[in-house]
Protein backbone atom coordinates (compact mmCIF):
# COMPACT_ATOMS: atom_id res chain seq x y z
CA UNK A 1 0.00 0.00 0.00
CA UNK A 2 1.17 3.52 -0.78
CA UNK A 3 1.64 6.54 1.42
CA UNK A 4 0.71 10.11 0.47
CA UNK A 5 2.65 13.26 1.32
CA UNK A 6 0.68 16.51 1.37
CA UNK A 7 1.54 20.15 2.04
CA UNK A 8 -0.43 23.30 2.87
CA UNK A 9 -1.82 25.23 -0.10
CA UNK A 10 -3.02 28.80 -0.64
CA UNK A 11 -6.49 28.22 -2.06
CA UNK A 12 -8.73 25.98 -4.14
CA UNK A 13 -10.41 27.01 -7.38
CA UNK A 14 -12.37 25.15 -10.02
CA UNK A 15 -15.24 22.89 -11.01
CA UNK A 16 -15.50 19.39 -9.58
CA UNK A 17 -17.43 16.35 -10.82
CA UNK A 18 -17.40 13.58 -8.25
CA UNK A 19 -18.16 9.89 -8.93
CA UNK A 20 -21.70 8.55 -9.02
CA UNK A 21 -23.37 8.12 -5.66
CA UNK A 22 -22.08 4.91 -4.12
CA UNK A 23 -25.27 4.12 -2.19
CA UNK A 24 -27.47 4.58 -5.25
CA UNK A 25 -25.03 2.65 -7.45
CA UNK A 26 -25.23 -0.44 -5.23
CA UNK A 27 -29.01 -0.32 -5.27
CA UNK A 28 -29.24 0.30 -9.01
CA UNK A 29 -27.27 -2.88 -9.67
CA UNK A 30 -29.10 -5.02 -7.10
CA UNK A 31 -32.64 -3.92 -7.92
CA UNK A 32 -31.99 -4.07 -11.67
CA UNK A 33 -30.68 -7.63 -11.27
CA UNK A 34 -34.09 -8.90 -10.15
CA UNK A 35 -36.15 -6.77 -12.55
CA UNK A 36 -37.84 -8.24 -15.62
CA UNK A 37 -35.53 -6.94 -18.35
CA UNK A 38 -32.44 -4.94 -19.26
CA UNK A 39 -31.67 -1.76 -17.31
CA UNK A 40 -29.12 0.83 -18.39
CA UNK A 41 -27.39 2.34 -15.36
CA UNK A 42 -25.63 5.62 -16.22
CA UNK A 43 -23.20 7.47 -13.99
CA UNK A 44 -22.41 4.31 -12.03
CA UNK A 45 -19.73 4.69 -9.37
CA UNK A 46 -16.45 2.94 -10.17
CA UNK A 47 -15.69 2.50 -6.47
CA UNK A 48 -14.27 -0.85 -5.40
CA UNK A 49 -17.30 -1.39 -3.16
CA UNK A 50 -19.63 -1.12 -6.15
CA UNK A 51 -17.39 -3.45 -8.15
CA UNK A 52 -17.82 -5.97 -5.33
CA UNK A 53 -21.60 -5.80 -5.73
CA UNK A 54 -21.32 -6.28 -9.50
CA UNK A 55 -18.99 -9.27 -9.08
CA UNK A 56 -21.38 -10.95 -6.61
CA UNK A 57 -24.33 -10.45 -8.95
CA UNK A 58 -22.38 -11.91 -11.86
CA UNK A 59 -21.59 -14.93 -9.70
CA UNK A 60 -25.35 -15.29 -9.17
CA UNK A 61 -25.92 -15.51 -12.92
CA UNK A 62 -26.69 -11.87 -13.74
CA UNK A 63 -25.13 -10.51 -16.95
CA UNK A 64 -23.69 -7.01 -16.56
CA UNK A 65 -22.18 -5.46 -19.70
CA UNK A 66 -20.19 -2.26 -19.96
CA UNK A 67 -21.90 0.57 -21.80
CA UNK A 68 -21.24 4.24 -22.46
CA UNK A 69 -21.11 6.03 -19.09
CA UNK A 70 -22.18 2.96 -17.15
CA UNK A 71 -23.45 -0.58 -17.58
CA UNK A 72 -26.43 -2.59 -18.81
CA UNK A 73 -27.83 -5.01 -16.24
CA UNK A 74 -29.79 -7.90 -17.72
CA UNK A 75 -32.36 -8.56 -15.02
CA UNK A 76 -33.27 -12.18 -14.35
CA UNK A 77 -36.56 -11.53 -12.58
CA UNK A 78 -37.47 -12.25 -8.98
CA UNK A 79 -36.65 -15.94 -9.14
CA UNK A 80 -33.91 -16.12 -11.77
CA UNK A 81 -30.78 -15.95 -9.61
CA UNK A 82 -28.52 -19.00 -9.84
CA UNK A 83 -26.58 -20.76 -7.05
CA UNK A 84 -23.01 -19.44 -6.93
CA UNK A 85 -20.18 -21.90 -7.47
CA UNK A 86 -18.19 -20.54 -4.54
CA UNK A 87 -18.53 -18.07 -1.70
CA UNK A 88 -19.55 -14.58 -2.76
CA UNK A 89 -16.92 -11.96 -1.91
CA UNK A 90 -18.31 -8.60 -0.78
CA UNK A 91 -14.82 -7.17 -0.28
CA UNK A 92 -14.97 -4.22 2.11
CA UNK A 93 -18.59 -3.41 1.39
CA UNK A 94 -21.17 -3.55 4.16
CA UNK A 95 -23.86 -2.46 1.70
CA UNK A 96 -23.07 -5.41 -0.57
CA UNK A 97 -23.27 -8.10 2.09
CA UNK A 98 -26.32 -6.73 3.89
CA UNK A 99 -28.46 -5.97 0.84
CA UNK A 100 -27.59 -9.19 -0.96
CA UNK A 101 -28.40 -11.13 2.20
CA UNK A 102 -31.98 -9.86 1.93
CA UNK A 103 -32.27 -11.20 -1.63
CA UNK A 104 -30.52 -14.47 -0.89
CA UNK A 105 -32.87 -15.17 2.02
CA UNK A 106 -35.68 -15.74 -0.48
CA UNK A 107 -33.86 -17.99 -2.97
CA UNK A 108 -34.32 -21.76 -3.22
CA UNK A 109 -30.61 -22.46 -2.74
CA UNK A 110 -27.85 -22.03 -0.19
CA UNK A 111 -25.14 -19.41 -0.65
CA UNK A 112 -22.24 -18.14 1.42
CA UNK A 113 -21.22 -14.49 1.39
CA UNK A 114 -18.07 -13.13 3.01
CA UNK A 115 -15.62 -10.24 2.70
CA UNK A 116 -12.23 -8.89 3.73
CA UNK A 117 -10.94 -8.88 7.30
CA UNK A 118 -12.57 -5.53 8.10
CA UNK A 119 -15.97 -6.66 6.83
CA UNK A 120 -15.72 -9.96 8.69
CA UNK A 121 -15.50 -7.96 11.93
CA UNK A 122 -18.59 -5.84 11.31
CA UNK A 123 -21.90 -6.60 13.08
CA UNK A 124 -24.35 -8.82 11.18
CA UNK A 125 -26.76 -9.75 13.99
CA UNK A 126 -28.80 -6.70 12.95
CA UNK A 127 -29.74 -8.42 9.67
CA UNK A 128 -29.53 -12.06 10.73
CA UNK A 129 -32.27 -11.77 13.34
CA UNK A 130 -34.96 -10.20 11.11
CA UNK A 131 -34.17 -12.52 8.19
CA UNK A 132 -34.50 -15.55 10.45
CA UNK A 133 -37.81 -14.17 11.72
CA UNK A 134 -38.91 -14.12 8.08
CA UNK A 135 -38.02 -17.81 7.69
CA UNK A 136 -34.45 -17.90 6.33
CA UNK A 137 -31.69 -19.94 7.97
CA UNK A 138 -28.36 -18.17 8.41
CA UNK A 139 -25.26 -19.82 9.80
CA UNK A 140 -22.45 -17.63 11.10
CA UNK A 141 -19.72 -17.51 13.71
CA UNK A 142 -20.72 -15.07 16.48
CA UNK A 143 -23.04 -13.18 14.08
CA UNK A 144 -20.13 -12.17 11.82
CA UNK A 145 -19.35 -12.93 8.17
CA UNK A 146 -19.04 -15.30 6.45
CA UNK A 147 -22.79 -15.84 6.37
CA UNK A 148 -24.21 -19.07 4.94
CA UNK A 149 -27.78 -18.34 3.90
CA UNK A 150 -30.32 -21.07 3.17
CA UNK A 151 -33.23 -19.33 1.54
CA UNK A 152 -36.82 -20.31 0.93
CA UNK A 153 -40.38 -19.02 1.26
CA UNK A 154 -40.49 -15.96 3.51
CA UNK A 155 -43.19 -14.48 5.70
CA UNK A 156 -43.86 -10.79 6.21
CA UNK A 157 -42.84 -9.24 9.53
CA UNK A 158 -43.10 -6.01 11.49
CA UNK A 159 -39.57 -5.19 12.61
CA UNK A 160 -38.40 -2.41 14.91
CA UNK A 161 -34.74 -1.87 14.10
CA UNK A 162 -32.68 -0.82 17.14
CA UNK A 163 -30.42 1.23 14.86
CA UNK A 164 -31.18 3.77 12.14
CA UNK A 165 -29.48 1.99 9.27
CA UNK A 166 -30.38 2.16 5.59
CA UNK A 167 -28.49 -1.10 5.08
CA UNK A 168 -30.61 -2.95 7.65
CA UNK A 169 -33.83 -1.39 6.38
CA UNK A 170 -32.95 -2.18 2.76
CA UNK A 171 -32.05 -5.77 3.58
CA UNK A 172 -35.47 -6.35 5.13
CA UNK A 173 -37.37 -4.53 2.37
CA UNK A 174 -35.60 -6.54 -0.34
CA UNK A 175 -36.55 -9.74 1.47
CA UNK A 176 -40.06 -8.36 1.87
CA UNK A 177 -40.44 -8.17 -1.92
CA UNK A 178 -40.64 -11.98 -1.86
CA UNK A 179 -42.81 -12.41 1.25
CA UNK A 180 -46.60 -12.60 1.17
CA UNK A 181 -48.15 -9.70 3.04
CA UNK A 182 -46.89 -6.39 4.39
CA UNK A 183 -43.33 -6.19 5.69
CA UNK A 184 -42.77 -3.10 7.85
CA UNK A 185 -39.54 -1.63 9.21
CA UNK A 186 -39.40 1.14 11.79
CA UNK A 187 -36.22 2.94 12.89
CA UNK A 188 -35.26 5.26 15.72
CA UNK A 189 -34.57 7.95 13.09
CA UNK A 190 -35.25 8.20 9.37
CA UNK A 191 -32.28 6.77 7.42
CA UNK A 192 -31.57 7.41 3.74
CA UNK A 193 -34.35 6.21 1.44
CA UNK A 194 -32.65 5.35 -1.86
CA UNK A 195 -33.95 1.77 -1.75
CA UNK A 196 -37.55 2.87 -1.27
CA UNK A 197 -37.33 5.39 -4.12
CA UNK A 198 -35.76 2.89 -6.51
CA UNK A 199 -38.26 0.17 -5.67
CA UNK A 200 -41.08 2.64 -6.30
CA UNK A 201 -39.46 3.59 -9.60
CA UNK A 202 -39.50 -0.06 -10.67
CA UNK A 203 -43.08 -0.71 -9.68
CA UNK A 204 -42.95 -2.22 -6.18
CA UNK A 205 -45.87 -1.54 -3.86
CA UNK A 206 -43.91 0.31 -1.21
CA UNK A 207 -44.78 3.11 1.20
CA UNK A 208 -42.65 5.16 3.55
CA UNK A 209 -43.12 8.04 5.94
CA UNK A 210 -40.59 9.37 8.38
CA UNK A 211 -39.07 6.37 10.21
CA UNK A 212 -41.46 3.73 8.78
CA UNK A 213 -41.07 1.85 5.49
CA UNK A 214 -43.38 -0.92 4.27
CA UNK A 215 -43.51 -3.15 1.20
CA UNK A 216 -46.34 -5.41 0.04
CA UNK A 217 -45.21 -8.71 -1.40
CA UNK A 218 -44.84 -10.70 -3.43
CA UNK A 219 -43.78 -8.02 -5.94
CA UNK A 220 -42.53 -7.89 -9.50
CA UNK A 221 -40.02 -5.28 -10.61
CA UNK A 222 -40.09 -3.69 -14.06
CA UNK A 223 -36.86 -2.68 -15.76
CA UNK A 224 -36.16 1.07 -15.83
CA UNK A 225 -33.04 2.93 -16.89
CA UNK A 226 -31.35 4.62 -13.93
CA UNK A 227 -29.20 7.75 -13.94
CA UNK A 228 -27.01 7.97 -10.83
CA UNK A 229 -26.26 11.49 -9.53
CA UNK A 230 -22.90 12.54 -8.11
CA UNK A 231 -22.15 11.38 -4.56
CA UNK A 232 -22.74 14.11 -1.98
CA UNK A 233 -20.65 12.14 0.53
CA UNK A 234 -17.72 12.46 -1.90
CA UNK A 235 -18.52 16.11 -2.58
CA UNK A 236 -18.48 16.77 1.19
CA UNK A 237 -14.68 16.69 1.28
CA UNK A 238 -14.52 19.47 -1.29
CA UNK A 239 -17.40 21.42 0.25
CA UNK A 240 -15.47 21.62 3.51
CA UNK A 241 -12.12 22.20 1.78
CA UNK A 242 -13.51 25.08 -0.27
CA UNK A 243 -14.91 26.71 2.86
CA UNK A 244 -11.74 26.12 4.93
CA UNK A 245 -9.14 27.44 2.47
CA UNK A 246 -8.95 31.25 2.08
CA UNK A 247 -9.81 32.88 -1.26
CA UNK A 248 -11.37 29.68 -2.54
CA UNK A 249 -14.37 29.02 -4.78
CA UNK A 250 -15.47 25.54 -5.80
CA UNK A 251 -18.41 24.46 -7.95
CA UNK A 252 -19.67 20.84 -7.79
CA UNK A 253 -21.91 19.69 -10.61
CA UNK A 254 -24.69 17.06 -10.69
CA UNK A 255 -24.63 16.33 -6.95
CA UNK A 256 -27.41 14.22 -5.45
CA UNK A 257 -29.40 16.36 -3.02
CA UNK A 258 -31.85 13.83 -1.58
CA UNK A 259 -33.08 15.48 1.63
CA UNK A 260 -31.99 12.48 3.70
CA UNK A 261 -28.42 12.94 2.42
CA UNK A 262 -28.07 16.72 2.70
CA UNK A 263 -27.26 16.70 6.40
CA UNK A 264 -23.78 17.89 5.41
CA UNK A 265 -25.36 21.08 4.07
CA UNK A 266 -27.44 21.54 7.22
CA UNK A 267 -24.35 20.99 9.35
CA UNK A 268 -22.30 23.49 7.34
CA UNK A 269 -25.09 26.06 7.62
CA UNK A 270 -25.04 25.65 11.41
CA UNK A 271 -21.27 26.23 11.26
CA UNK A 272 -21.65 29.50 9.37
CA UNK A 273 -20.85 28.29 5.84
CA UNK A 274 -22.80 29.76 2.94
CA UNK A 275 -23.34 27.81 -0.27
CA UNK A 276 -25.57 28.04 -3.32
CA UNK A 277 -27.73 25.32 -4.86
CA UNK A 278 -28.56 25.85 -8.54
CA UNK A 279 -30.03 23.97 -11.51
CA UNK A 280 -31.93 21.40 -9.44
CA UNK A 281 -33.72 18.67 -11.40
CA UNK A 282 -35.12 15.23 -10.57
CA UNK A 283 -34.47 11.93 -12.37
CA UNK A 284 -35.63 8.52 -11.14
CA UNK A 285 -37.12 10.27 -8.09
CA UNK A 286 -33.63 11.43 -7.02
CA UNK A 287 -32.97 15.21 -7.07
CA UNK A 288 -29.59 16.52 -8.19
CA UNK A 289 -28.12 20.03 -8.44
CA UNK A 290 -25.01 22.19 -8.74
CA UNK A 291 -23.53 23.31 -5.41
CA UNK A 292 -21.11 26.25 -5.10
CA UNK A 293 -19.12 27.08 -1.97
CA UNK A 294 -16.71 29.86 -0.99
CA UNK A 295 -14.30 30.50 1.86
CA UNK A 296 -16.00 30.98 5.21
CA UNK A 297 -15.38 31.55 8.89
CA UNK A 298 -16.53 28.54 10.88
CA UNK A 299 -18.37 28.58 14.19
CA UNK A 300 -18.90 25.68 16.58
CA UNK A 301 -22.08 23.61 16.60
CA UNK A 302 -23.66 20.50 18.12
CA UNK A 303 -24.34 17.48 15.90
CA UNK A 304 -26.45 14.65 17.29
CA UNK A 305 -29.82 12.91 17.46
CA UNK A 306 -31.82 12.59 14.24
CA UNK A 307 -29.08 14.48 12.38
CA UNK A 308 -26.55 11.64 12.72
CA UNK A 309 -28.06 9.22 10.14
CA UNK A 310 -28.01 12.11 7.66
CA UNK A 311 -24.28 12.83 8.20
CA UNK A 312 -22.94 9.43 9.27
CA UNK A 313 -20.47 9.34 6.34
CA UNK A 314 -19.57 13.01 6.62
CA UNK A 315 -18.61 13.13 10.30
CA UNK A 316 -14.88 12.60 9.57
CA UNK A 317 -14.65 15.71 7.39
CA UNK A 318 -16.93 17.68 9.72
CA UNK A 319 -14.54 16.84 12.55
CA UNK A 320 -11.74 18.46 10.53
CA UNK A 321 -13.92 21.54 10.04
CA UNK A 322 -14.59 21.66 13.80
CA UNK A 323 -10.88 22.18 14.52
CA UNK A 324 -11.16 25.56 12.75
CA UNK A 325 -14.49 26.60 14.26
CA UNK A 326 -14.74 29.24 16.97
CA UNK A 327 -15.91 27.50 20.15
CA UNK A 328 -16.63 23.93 21.20
CA UNK A 329 -18.18 21.54 18.68
CA UNK A 330 -19.93 18.48 20.13
CA UNK A 331 -20.59 15.34 18.07
CA UNK A 332 -22.83 12.89 19.95
CA UNK A 333 -25.14 9.90 19.40
CA UNK A 334 -22.61 8.63 16.83
CA UNK A 335 -21.68 5.28 18.38
CA UNK A 336 -22.36 3.65 14.98
CA UNK A 337 -19.02 5.09 13.80
CA UNK A 338 -17.22 2.55 15.96
CA UNK A 339 -18.34 -0.31 13.67
CA UNK A 340 -17.53 1.17 10.27
CA UNK A 341 -14.46 0.30 8.18
CA UNK A 342 -12.51 1.38 11.24
CA UNK A 343 -13.46 2.65 14.66
CA UNK A 344 -13.84 6.12 13.20
CA UNK A 345 -14.22 7.92 16.52
CA UNK A 346 -10.95 6.46 17.78
CA UNK A 347 -9.21 7.08 14.45
CA UNK A 348 -10.35 10.70 14.33
CA UNK A 349 -9.30 11.35 17.93
CA UNK A 350 -5.86 9.76 17.42
CA UNK A 351 -5.02 11.59 14.19
CA UNK A 352 -6.41 14.94 15.31
CA UNK A 353 -4.32 14.70 18.48
CA UNK A 354 -1.20 14.04 16.38
CA UNK A 355 -1.95 17.22 14.42
CA UNK A 356 -2.29 19.27 17.61
CA UNK A 357 -6.07 19.59 17.71
CA UNK A 358 -7.95 19.89 20.99
CA UNK A 359 -10.16 16.82 20.94
CA UNK A 360 -11.78 14.62 23.55
CA UNK A 361 -13.14 11.20 22.63
CA UNK A 362 -16.46 10.12 24.12
CA UNK A 363 -18.16 6.74 23.88
CA UNK A 364 -20.62 8.08 21.32
CA UNK A 365 -18.78 11.04 19.82
CA UNK A 366 -16.15 13.75 20.02
CA UNK A 367 -15.72 17.16 21.65
CA UNK A 368 -13.50 19.46 19.59
CA UNK A 369 -12.38 22.96 20.61
CA UNK A 370 -11.22 25.54 18.10
CA UNK A 371 -9.91 27.26 16.23
CA UNK A 372 -6.56 25.45 16.44
CA UNK A 373 -3.54 25.66 14.17
CA UNK A 374 -2.90 22.14 12.90
CA UNK A 375 0.61 20.92 12.22
CA UNK A 376 1.80 18.27 9.81
CA UNK A 377 2.23 14.76 11.16
CA UNK A 378 2.53 11.13 10.11
CA UNK A 379 -1.00 9.75 10.21
CA UNK A 380 -2.61 6.34 9.82
CA UNK A 381 -5.51 5.90 7.41
CA UNK A 382 -6.58 2.83 9.38
CA UNK A 383 -7.34 1.45 5.90
CA UNK A 384 -10.50 3.56 6.01
CA UNK A 385 -11.25 5.61 2.90
CA UNK A 386 -13.11 8.38 4.71
CA UNK A 387 -10.37 8.79 7.31
CA UNK A 388 -7.75 9.02 4.55
CA UNK A 389 -9.68 11.65 2.60
CA UNK A 390 -10.65 13.71 5.64
CA UNK A 391 -7.05 14.04 6.79
CA UNK A 392 -5.90 14.79 3.24
CA UNK A 393 -8.06 17.92 3.50
CA UNK A 394 -6.70 18.62 6.99
CA UNK A 395 -3.18 18.48 5.53
CA UNK A 396 -3.99 21.39 3.19
CA UNK A 397 -4.48 23.76 6.16
CA UNK A 398 -1.75 22.34 8.41
CA UNK A 399 1.71 23.78 8.93
CA UNK A 400 4.39 21.58 7.34
CA UNK A 401 4.29 18.21 5.64
CA UNK A 402 1.70 15.53 6.42
CA UNK A 403 2.14 11.88 5.49
CA UNK A 404 -0.92 9.61 5.39
CA UNK A 405 -0.17 5.91 5.36
CA UNK A 406 -1.96 3.38 3.17
CA UNK A 407 -4.09 5.70 1.07
CA UNK A 408 -4.97 3.03 -1.51
CA UNK A 409 -8.13 2.49 0.55
CA UNK A 410 -9.52 5.70 -0.99
CA UNK A 411 -10.44 3.66 -4.07
CA UNK A 412 -13.06 1.85 -1.98
CA UNK A 413 -15.35 4.84 -2.53
CA UNK A 414 -13.57 7.54 -4.55
CA UNK A 415 -11.14 6.50 -7.29
CA UNK A 416 -9.45 9.63 -8.64
CA UNK A 417 -9.82 11.62 -5.41
CA UNK A 418 -6.19 12.79 -5.42
CA UNK A 419 -6.27 13.65 -9.14
CA UNK A 420 -9.26 15.92 -8.56
CA UNK A 421 -7.63 17.44 -5.49
CA UNK A 422 -4.46 18.25 -7.44
CA UNK A 423 -6.49 19.81 -10.26
CA UNK A 424 -8.13 22.45 -8.03
CA UNK A 425 -5.11 23.53 -5.97
CA UNK A 426 -4.28 27.18 -6.66
CA UNK A 427 -0.84 27.92 -5.26
CA UNK A 428 1.35 30.74 -6.58
CA UNK A 429 4.22 30.24 -4.15
Q: Which positions are catalytic?
A: 313
Residue environment code for 316-332, b if the CB has 16+ CB neighbours within 10 A, otherwise e:
bbbbbbbbbbeeebbbb
For the chain, 429 residues long, give each residue's pLDDT as a single digit of tens.
699 999 999 999 999 999 999 999 999 999 999 999 999 999 999 999 999 999 999 999 999 999 988 999 999 999 999 999 999 999 999 999 999 999 999 999 999 999 999 999 999 999 999 999 999 999 999 999 999 999 999 999 999 999 999 999 999 999 999 999 999 999 999 999 999 999 999 999 999 988 999 999 999 999 999 999 999 999 999 999 999 999 999 999 999 999 999 999 999 999 999 999 999 999 999 999 999 999 999 999 999 999 999 999 999 999 999 999 999 999 999 999 999 999 999 999 999 999 999 999 999 999 999 999 999 999 999 999 999 999 999 999 999 999 999 999 999 999 999 999 999 998 765
Q: Which of 3, 17, 11 is nearest to 251 (CA)?
A: 17
Q: What kind and span of H or E run contains 194?
A: helix 194-201
Query: For residues 280 and 278, what is the distance between their CA atoms, to the nearest angstrom?
Result: 6
Domains of the chain, start order:
4-20+229-426 (3.65.10.10), 22-227 (3.65.10.10)
The DSSP call for residue 221 is -
Query: For residues 94 and 119, what is the distance between their CA atoms, to the nearest angstrom?
Result: 7
Which runs of consecutive H residues, i.e. helices, occur in 271-312?
308-311
Q: Phi and psi for 9 in degrees, rounded to 5?
A: -130, 165
On the CB side of 32, CA atoms within 13 Å amount to 28
- Say what the pTM is: 0.96
Query: For residues 174 and 176, what is the distance between their CA atoms, to the nearest angstrom?
Result: 5
Query: For residues 248 and 273, what is the distance between their CA atoms, to the nearest angstrom?
Result: 13
The DSSP call for residue 144 is E
CA dihedral 224, 230, 236, 242 (to 10 degrees): -160
Amino acid sequence: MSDKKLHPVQSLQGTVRVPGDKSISHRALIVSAIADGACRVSGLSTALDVQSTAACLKALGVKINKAKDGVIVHGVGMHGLQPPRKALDAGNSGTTIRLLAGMLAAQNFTATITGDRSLRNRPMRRIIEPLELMGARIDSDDFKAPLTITGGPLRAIDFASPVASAQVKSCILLAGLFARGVTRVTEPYHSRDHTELMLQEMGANIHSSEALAAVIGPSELHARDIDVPGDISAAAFFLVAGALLPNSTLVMENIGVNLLRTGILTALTSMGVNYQINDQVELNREPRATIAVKSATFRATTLGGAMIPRIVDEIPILAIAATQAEGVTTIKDARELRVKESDRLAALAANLTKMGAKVREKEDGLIISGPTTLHGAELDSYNDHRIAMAFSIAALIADGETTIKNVDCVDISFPGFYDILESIIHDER
